[in-house]
């Protein structure tokens, strides 16, 4: 039995209307509600705490204790805040100005190397895919770190290190030119 485009569209519209009404999907969608996300309530406290510990920070690994000491009673819950849910905020709080300078240096290095490597790559070259994947992977982790702490998990930290190693490799190691056997031979014709 073949379904028509109209039948598929009607089924899709019905699913979009009915599924959010179910309890399971409704609970799953609640986690994307900005009002129920506590990170927006405690980020101002993280910023104030960071200012209090400038210029050298509170020390790496001290976030839970430092935050708990300055957490206002209005946002206290039965659970505790283990991370700032922004790698950049947590790095600034724990490492202070030196960590911010190192982080800025990394971001500058990444932008410069990514631009150089992407310009050096040619579509179809052997090194094209690894460079594009490495740039996209690091960029995704940089953006993800704005709202969470992905680099504090070993798997993603290892992946980030691998991506950075690909970008840091000398161009000769990436073989940005296609191997000779894959290059097209061009015949010159006399006019």
Answer whether 0.95 is exceeded by the pTM.
no
pLDDT at 127 over 80: no
Q: Per-residue pLDDT averaged across 88-96, rounded? A: 94
What pLDDT, in 10s, does the model give residues 3-56? 576 777 777 777 777 766 676 666 665 555 555 567 778 888 889 999 999 999
Tell me how far apart the alpha carbons of residues 135 and 117 are, in angstroms, rounded to a whole number: 9
Res 190: pLDDT: 61
Alpha helices in 19-127 (DSSP H): 23-30, 39-52, 63-70, 87-120
Give me 40's structure tokens. 């927006």
Find tokens 């982080």 and name the residue: 103
Residues 134-168 have pLDDT tens digits of 999 999 999 999 988 998 899 999 999 999 999 99
Map tokens 């990170």 to a residue: 39
């Amino acid at each position: 039995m073949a379904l028509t485009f109209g039948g598929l569209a009607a089924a899709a519209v019905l699913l979009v209307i009915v599924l959010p009404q179910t309890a399971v999907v409704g609970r799953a969608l609640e986690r994307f509600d900005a009002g129920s996300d506590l990170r927006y309530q405690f980020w101002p406290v993280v910023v104030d705490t960071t200012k209090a510990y400038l210029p050298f920070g509170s020390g790496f690994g001290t976030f839970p204790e430092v935050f708990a000491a300055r957490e206002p009673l209005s946002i206290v819950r039965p659970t505790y805040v283990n991370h700032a849910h922004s790698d950049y905020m947590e790095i600034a709080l724990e490492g202070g100005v030196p960590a911010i300078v190192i982080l800025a240096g990394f971001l500058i290095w990444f932008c410069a190397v990514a631009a150089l490597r992407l310009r050096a790559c040619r579509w179809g070259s052997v090194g094209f895919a690894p460079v594009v994947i490495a740039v996209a992977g690091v960029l995704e982790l940089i953006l993800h770190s704005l709202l969470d702490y992905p680099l504090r998990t070993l798997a993603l930290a290892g992946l980030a290190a691998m991506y950075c190693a690909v970008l840091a490799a000398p161009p000769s190691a990436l073989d940005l030119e296609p191997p000779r056997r894959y290059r097209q031979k061009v015949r010159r014709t006399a006019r």
